[in-house]
Chain A
Amino acid sequence: MLSLLARIIKTGTVTEQAPQVGSTDIEVTGENLKRAITRLYGGRSLRIRHVDAGSSNAEEYEMTALGNAYHDSERFGLSFVASPRHADILTVSGPVTRNMEHALRTAYDMTPEPRMVIAVGDGACTGGIWAGSYAVVGAVEKVIPVDAKIFGDPPSPLQILKGLLAAIEKART
């Protein structure tokens, strides 16, 4: 017992220093995003419904990272929802495969207006390395109207945040 206590005292703190809050690129972009959302409609949050229209899942990994403890995008007012009925933004990844074309169109149809469609990743923006394949339709804009594109294969969480910020600011004007 005593030896354990002595060891705790002797060892001290060995974990890394906590990152400085409020100074990194993510925080700055996030705060701007929050302000942009407030300016957009006076509210505090935007809901995202993500549609995987046949991506390599790289984009999904990066978007999942948006919600982890490090990025914590919910503090900027972004959250992911399960139904397009609840969504403001539809994010689409992947070159739209022929199997997912109908599903994507249905999801778009069922998102209430006003809505925004953002293509995430090179596949969704241009078709990427799959462009021209018989199995894919190609870029998302060939299926549904796209409001903004976030390039990258895959885009990092920071790039996604910046892309969302740009899209929202563009939507305001």
Chain B
Amino acid sequence: MDPLLISRLFLFALATPAFAALLGLLLRRVSWSNTLTQVLFALSGLVGLGAVALLALEMFAGSLSSLQIGGLGVLQPLGVPFLGIIYAGVLLTSFYSIAALAKYKEIYVLPWLNVASALFLIGMQAVVLAPSVLTFLLAWELMSIAAYFLVIADRTEDSLRAGFLYFVMTHLGFLALAAGLLILSGGNPLLSWAELAQGAATLGALPLSLAFALLFAGFGSKAGLVPLHQWLPYAHPQAPSGSSALLSGVMLKVAVFGFLQSLTFFPSLLFPWMLVVLLLGLVSAFFGALHAAVENDAKRLLAWSSIENMGLIFAGIALYFLTSGTAALAPLAPLFALFVMLHILNHFLFKSGLFMAAGVIQSATHTRDLDSLGGLARRWPLFSGVVLALSLAAAALPPLGTFFGEWALVQALALGLGAGDPASRFTALLVLSSVALVGGLAIFAFVKFFSLVFLGRARTEAAEHAGALSWILATPVAICALLSLGVGLVAFPLISGIPVGKLFGAEVVVAPGAGIDPTLVALILAAPALALWLITRVLRTKIRITDTWDCGAPLTPRMQYTSTGFAAPIRFFFRTLLGARREIITTPVVASNPWVTKKHLDWQIHSIWEVWLYKPLGHGIVRVAHSVRRLQSGVVQFYLLLVLLTLILTLFIAL
């Protein structure tokens, strides 16, 4: 295939969203303008996916190692899977948004929302394609600002507050990125990546360390790593659900891409820093899973789960670089790389699907509160099956793709228990137990998510009268679930010991002994199904279905488990880490009788990062600002003196 044609396809995919948004703006009076824009978005995603597929074929055949995209940039092999994820995300969410956004015409200003979406899509592609420091930073900023407008799209008080937090955090991250990249490039923003890498090789240990810390903070804040994660669970759920899917499913992966790309600038001194990345990744995974388990808002639960998964991905990246450097542990590195790539893909699939599913539920019931939902499986049996599959994927259970990715991680860690020096064995033990804890909490969170939304009875009128399901909304969700299952089917032989190809620029062959026995897994999966079939078909047991025994008192939805009640053990057990506080407030009903009382349970959870890090920092900054304000005397002569002093100081430093 001609490289020029492929690059033209990429250019088409890059430019179409802008064209589509402009067209939507011009035709905003026409009733089908949103449909037109979304169809064009979907088209750009489709063309982009085609281009990615063609390019991947060429690269596997070995006839192309990188692709020049017009005058815009160079696409390296590392960017190809990430571009694929971006285009797949665009295709799925645009298809979903045709019907999803049409319902909210009064709430969102659709033509302008689509302009923000288009800029967001272009920004994400440009980050992956950017050839130099300056273009990368510009693209990053475009992506971040456009995302801000997606977050505040419904212009409610909550959204504006979440958007403000996001705006501040993303610009702190941007500052860190710009500073880190400029340290590496020696202050020249026009360097290409290759030139930057050459220059970085000559830098000393201290500037390199500083640059790494800044870059990690910048990309980590975008990816929602602790302690710079606080904005994510507020901001992501506020966007329209299709955009939430893009923010959580795709934009976080762009941050991972940026991090992976920047790692190529640090050939030396990765080892101590990777321990920091590993630690923060695991802490993020833990806090994400913990907050997901106790969260009552459906979309915010998904956002916390994103933090968990990003933490696991960063921990996987750190483990890859920690093991690939040592001879004794090098055979394990490919498994970690496999985990990272599979998990990036899987997380994109299930998280996009779940966010869109949450949007479907929200548009039918007008609530995201798990305590107000329930019983939807009876109304939407097929859709509940789809969401069940996605929830299984989110909980990393077989036979879905996520299971096989995490299986590679756990296998590699288990092998790490028996290889290398005592320190690395002990690290493997700690990491393995944290991954197990995170996995358990994730299962808990998604059991809660699925069962409270779909099982039991409707807890409110709104959930009771959820209308019919529109197929155009449900199809992208179903496609996500099917693809997640498909990844499982493809990952299965991969894990069983077939060479993977080139990832991170290294030949990857799965470590012998780390495989998975296909017959065993198939048997474990098939045995319960077979048993069920035997019981119902062969034994022909006569089944008579009656109501639930209610002891004579009618059953009400209030007798069911609530989300709050379900998570109570977790809240109690981790109360210190959650800052959980509960209080029973007793007020007497009759003043003369102390025994007749009304009781009210008041409970709260806090993020300890917010209480111990963000608030003290904010107060400190305000205090410093107050003391600086004393300089502002309003006397002109004093300001002139300050100007003079600054001039003298500058000259003194410069000369």
List residues of chain A with CB under 8 Å of any chain B CB: 83-85, 103, 106, 109-110, 112-113
Q: Tell whether, in the assembled complex, residue A84 and residue B552 are in contact, meaning their CB atoms are under 8 Å apart.
A: no
Q: Tell whether, in the assembled complex, residue A106 and residue B544 are in contact, meaning their CB atoms are under 8 Å apart.
A: no
Report the 9 A-B pairs with minimum CB-CB distance, sorted nearest first: A110-B546, A109-B546, A85-B549, A83-B549, A110-B549, A103-B552, A84-B549, A110-B547, A113-B544
* CB-defined A-B contacts under 8 Å, sample of 13: A83-B549, A83-B551, A84-B549, A85-B549, A103-B552, A106-B547, A109-B546, A109-B547, A110-B546, A110-B547, A110-B549, A112-B544, A113-B544
Q: Which residue of A lies closest to B550 (CB)?
A: A106
Complex Cα–Cα for A60 and B351 (A): 60
A84 contacts across to B, CB distance below 8 A: 549
A109 contacts across to B, CB distance below 8 A: 546-547
Interchain nearest-CB distance for B63 vs A (Å): 70
Enumerate B536-557 residues with CB–CB distance to A below 8 Å. Answer: 544, 546-547, 549, 551-552
9 A-B pairs besides A85-B549, A112-B544 with CB distance below 8 A are A83-B549, A84-B549, A103-B552, A109-B546, A109-B547, A110-B546, A110-B547, A110-B549, A113-B544
Q: Which residue of A lies closest to B544 (CB)?
A: A113
A112 contacts across to B, CB distance below 8 A: 544
Q: Which residue of A lies closest to B552 (CB)?
A: A103
Interchain nearest-CB distance for B593 vs A (Å): 34
Complex Cα–Cα for A110 and B546 (A): 6
A110 contacts across to B, CB distance below 8 A: 546-547, 549
Complex Cα–Cα for A106 and B548 (A): 10
Interchain nearest-CB distance for B126 vs A (Å): 64
Q: Which residue of B lies closest to A85 (CB)?
A: B549
Complex Cα–Cα for A109 and B547 (A): 9
Interchain nearest-CB distance for A112 vs B (Å): 8
Complex Cα–Cα for A113 and B546 (A): 12
A103 contacts across to B, CB distance below 8 A: 552
Complex Cα–Cα for A116 and B30 (A): 71
Interface residues of B toward A: which range? under 10
Interchain nearest-CB distance for A98 vs B (Å): 16
Interchain nearest-CB distance for A100 vs B (Å): 10
B546 contacts across to A, CB distance below 8 A: 109-110
Complex Cα–Cα for A91 and B244 (A): 60
Complex Cα–Cα for A64 and B547 (A): 29
Complex Cα–Cα for A129 and B283 (A): 77
Interchain nearest-CB distance for B543 vs A (Å): 11
Interchain nearest-CB distance for A24 vs B (Å): 37
Complex Cα–Cα for A84 and B547 (A): 12
Complex Cα–Cα for A110 and B547 (A): 7
Q: Mark B506-545, 1 if CB is under 8 A from A, else 0.
A: 0000000000000000000000000000000000000010
A113 contacts across to B, CB distance below 8 A: 544
Complex Cα–Cα for A106 and B553 (A): 12
Interchain nearest-CB distance for B93 vs A (Å): 48
Interchain nearest-CB distance for B480 vs A (Å): 40
Complex Cα–Cα for A159 and B446 (A): 57
Interchain nearest-CB distance for A72 vs B (Å): 27
Q: Mark B235-260, 1 if CB is under 8 A from A, else 0.
A: 00000000000000000000000000
Complex Cα–Cα for A87 and B552 (A): 16
B552 contacts across to A, CB distance below 8 A: 103
Residue of A83, A103, A106, A113 most packed against chain B (CB within 10 A): A106
A85 contacts across to B, CB distance below 8 A: 549
Complex Cα–Cα for A35 and B302 (A): 61
Complex Cα–Cα for A103 and B546 (A): 14
Interchain nearest-CB distance for B547 vs A (Å): 7
Complex Cα–Cα for A109 and B544 (A): 10
Complex Cα–Cα for A109 and B549 (A): 10
Q: Mark B445-462, 1 if CB is under 8 A from A, else 0.
A: 000000000000000000
Complex Cα–Cα for A112 and B549 (A): 12
A106 contacts across to B, CB distance below 8 A: 547
Interchain nearest-CB distance for A170 vs B (Å): 24
Residue of B544, B546, B551, B552 most packed against chain A (CB within 10 A): B546
Q: Which residue of A lies closest to B548 (CB)?
A: A110
B547 contacts across to A, CB distance below 8 A: 106, 109-110
Complex Cα–Cα for A112 and B545 (A): 10
Complex Cα–Cα for A51 and B532 (A): 35
B551 contacts across to A, CB distance below 8 A: 83
Complex Cα–Cα for A141 and B259 (A): 79
Q: Which residue of B lies closest to A109 (CB)?
A: B546
Complex Cα–Cα for A84 and B546 (A): 12
Complex Cα–Cα for A112 and B541 (A): 13
Interchain nearest-CB distance for B246 vs A (Å): 49
Interchain nearest-CB distance for A136 vs B (Å): 19
Interchain nearest-CB distance for A87 vs B (Å): 11
Q: Which residue of B lies closest to A103 (CB)?
A: B552
Complex Cα–Cα for A83 and B549 (A): 7
B549 contacts across to A, CB distance below 8 A: 83-85, 110
Complex Cα–Cα for A110 and B551 (A): 11
A83 contacts across to B, CB distance below 8 A: 549, 551
Q: Which residue of B lies closest to A86 (CB)?
A: B549
Complex Cα–Cα for A83 and B552 (A): 11
Complex Cα–Cα for A85 and B549 (A): 7
Interchain nearest-CB distance for A131 vs B (Å): 26
Interchain nearest-CB distance for A109 vs B (Å): 5
Enumerate B86-145 residues with CB–CB distance to A below 8 Å. Answer: none
Complex Cα–Cα for A31 and B88 (A): 76
B544 contacts across to A, CB distance below 8 A: 112-113
Interchain nearest-CB distance for A36 vs B (Å): 26
Complex Cα–Cα for A90 and B91 (A): 62
Interchain nearest-CB distance for A133 vs B (Å): 23
Interchain nearest-CB distance for B546 vs A (Å): 5
Complex Cα–Cα for A112 and B546 (A): 10
Complex Cα–Cα for A109 and B546 (A): 7
Complex Cα–Cα for A24 and B546 (A): 43
Interchain nearest-CB distance for A116 vs B (Å): 16
Complex Cα–Cα for A83 and B551 (A): 7
Complex Cα–Cα for A32 and B94 (A): 77
Q: Which residue of B lies closest to A82 (CB)?
A: B551
Q: Which residue of B lies closest to A111 (CB)?
A: B546
Interchain nearest-CB distance for B207 vs A (Å): 74
Residue of B544, B547, B549, B551 most packed against chain A (CB within 10 A): B549
Interchain nearest-CB distance for A86 vs B (Å): 9
Complex Cα–Cα for A140 and B552 (A): 19
Q: Which residue of B lies closest to A83 (CB)?
A: B549
Complex Cα–Cα for A103 and B552 (A): 7
Complex Cα–Cα for A6 and B245 (A): 91
Complex Cα–Cα for A166 and B551 (A): 30
Complex Cα–Cα for A83 and B547 (A): 13
Complex Cα–Cα for A106 and B551 (A): 10
